[in-house]
Amino acid sequence: MKRVSPLTTALLLAGLSHATFAAAMPAEMNLSSVKAENGVVIDTRPSAFYNGWPQAVNTVGGHEPAALNLSASWLTLMSDEQLGEWAKQHQLNKTGLIALYGDDAQAVKTRLEKLGFTQVSMLKDGLQDPSRLQKLAHFEQLVYPQWIHDLQNKKPVTAAPAGDWKVIEAGWGAPKKYLLSHIPGAGYINTEEVESEPLWNKVSDDKLKAMLAKHGIRHDTTVILYGRDVYAAARVAAIMLYAGVKDVRLLDGGWATWSASELPVERGLPPQPAPADDFGATIPGQPQLMLDMEQARALLHRKDASLVSIRSWPEFIGTTSGYSYIKPKGEIAGARWGHAGSDSTHMEDFHNPDGTMRTGDDIAAMWKSWNITPDQQVAFYCGTGWRASETLMYARAMGWKNVGLYDGGWYEWSADPKNPVVSGERKPN
């Protein structure tokens, strides 16, 4: 039997039809009333504030319990079809109650009503009770453009670096796009400085030590990385964390978010940093973050562990290898699918429309459907480590504690014909 809410019952008893239902909706409702109606709450602010960054120093950030995030700033990036798909993914009912709060909530209300949602109200007590706000466990690991800009201009910021800090762009090859436009004062790291052929695994610890010294990075330097592709910066970030840099952060959404923010940019060659005399700690500082092939193999077929493929579905089922230089097709037998994107160069499954990280709840639910849970030992891999590094950084921001990266990935695994592989359509075990 379908449950009828008290509000619906009262309106029906008053003789109101569904056609006049929307007009009878209160313009504003408080959280307790929305919960009583089994309604959905949506935060319309940028994801940084939803995740936990306060909108002003010395205030509390985060979102209302169980709130979804649909930033008003995404509306111009989403067609009606894409917005409808978002609503479908989050199981929104066109006749169900929706309560909005945050920046430009009215714009989101207008757009939802255009799509046929009939019960859209405003949450009048949204963000009024700091004690009930929820946040990403380590939201500070995913910074946003204005935070960097304020830090550079010596303004007070939440979660400020404890000591020296650097902003660095990471990308493959020479800094061609960097030369044309980059974040003011940013350095540049070529990903070939941290990984090398034939398998594009991380370089030796000695080479890592030399690379860090060259860029003036010690174990206690806060490194803020960004890339034209988020996973390029994430690849460098993961390897720096392995080496023992304690505080490594990503610009959420990468260069695209800085460009969209209309903050200042620079042109020209990267600066020559003063080399660091000593890293100040033993390398590697976190060896558990990088797994070799035997360690990855040991995670297979365990209920308390997951070896997680961050590859597109066509790669996972063996339709394509995903790479021109990787010939074998298929997947590690026993690996679980962690999603990725449409092909080996995209990560749409993890991104909001502006390229920032999807909510931790969305990602956790996506993983849970494949029996990947935070209480397990989890190691991510992809073809050569870039996409898996991005998910490693997201998992750490979400507070997942026992996570790592199978550095060799499908490239290494598939090169040994003795390793078990599987192809074809399949479902979670």
- Which two three-digit tokens encode residue 88? 């479908």
In terms of Cβ atoms closer than 10 Å to its own Cβ (0-12, 13-18, 19+), residue 388 is buried
Positions annotated as catalytic residues are 382
- In terms of Cα–Cα distance, which of 225, 239, 216 is closest to 148? 225
| 8 A C-beta contact, residue 361 and residue 288 | no
| 8 A C-beta contact, residue 45 and residue 103 | yes
Please give the sequence-ordered ranges of beta strands (E in DSSP) within 44-154, or none if there are none. Answer: 68-69, 98-101, 120-123, 142-143
The distance in angstroms from the start CA to the end CA of the chain is 33
Buried-state track 7-46, b at ≥16 Cβ within 10 A, e below 16 = bbeebeeeeeeeeebeeebeeebebebbeebebbbbbbbb
The torsion angle over the Cα atoms of residues 60, 61, 63 and 68, rounded to 10 degrees, is 170
| 8 A C-beta contact, residue 90 and residue 69 | no
DSSP code at position 91: T
